Amino acid sequence: MTDTRNAQADLARDLSATCRLTGRFVLRSGRIADEYFDKYRFEADPVLLDRVAAGLAELVPPGTQVLAGLELGGIPVVTALARHVGLPCAFVRKTAKAYGTARLAEGAEVAGRRVLVVEDVVTSGGQVVISTGQLRELGAQVDHALCVIDRAEGGAAALAAHGIALRALVTRADLDGAR
């Protein structure tokens, strides 16, 4: 148990050191923040991304059939996670493309399957709610979402209001404690 706690603390410290930026940032929700977690910094580091995926693998709910990564930051995370758990992936666009297959969810079929939505950072939960609604319209059964960082700014509650349980690898408190 201590080894797991130490590994979790080490990962939180490394994520914080790699992707925590300070300044003035406009978030997707429109809110202004003085801190930003630049997920592309850990997603671009193959060793750190693999450690993230290994940690996330322990949080995948039993019975999950498809991992659905949200455009754009969720795509590298879901791909790395799939290598650890051996599940197929769907890559979920913000809007269906207007050419070719014109699909919203590319890759694995989601209709009639238990789908786990995978996101990089959750703040308000807005994009997860939107994408989950779209996946449900396609026939997916979505009850859970998984994220690398939960900023703990209302996202989990917003998701719960839509029947989605959020599981996070690290929270804002974990990152703050790792400083």
Q: Flag whether 126 is marked binding.
A: yes
Q: Flag whether 127 is marked binding.
A: yes
Q: Flag whether 125 is marked binding.
A: yes
Q: Flag whether 174 is marked binding.
A: no
Question: Which neighbouring-strand residues pair with 168?
Answer: 147
- Cα gap 14→10, rounded to integer Å: 6
Count of alpha carbons within 13 angstroms of residue 91, beta-carbon side? 11
Q: Report in angstroms the alpha-carbon separations of 18 from 9, 119, 179.
A: 14, 18, 12
- The DSSP H or E segment spanning 83 is helix 74-85
Q: Flag whether 93 is marked binding.
A: yes
Q: Report in angstroms the alpha-carbon separations of 146 from 2, 33, 52, 53, 150.
A: 24, 23, 12, 11, 9
Q: Flag whether 121 is marked binding.
A: yes
- The DSSP H or E segment spanning 100 is none
Residues across the chain: 179
Q: Flag whether 119 is marked binding.
A: yes
Q: Flag whether 122 is marked binding.
A: yes
Q: Flag whether 29 is marked binding.
A: no
Q: Flag whether 123 is marked binding.
A: yes
Q: Flag whether 94 is marked binding.
A: yes
Q: Flag whether 97 is marked binding.
A: yes
Nearest Cα to 156, choosing from 166, 148, 146? 166
Please give the annotated binding residues, written as ranges.
Answer: 28, 93-94, 97, 119-127, 151
Please give the annotated binding residues for orotate, written as ranges.
Answer: 123, 151
Please give the annotated binding residues for 5-phospho-alpha-D-ribose 1-diphosphate, written as ranges.
Answer: 28, 93-94, 97, 119-127
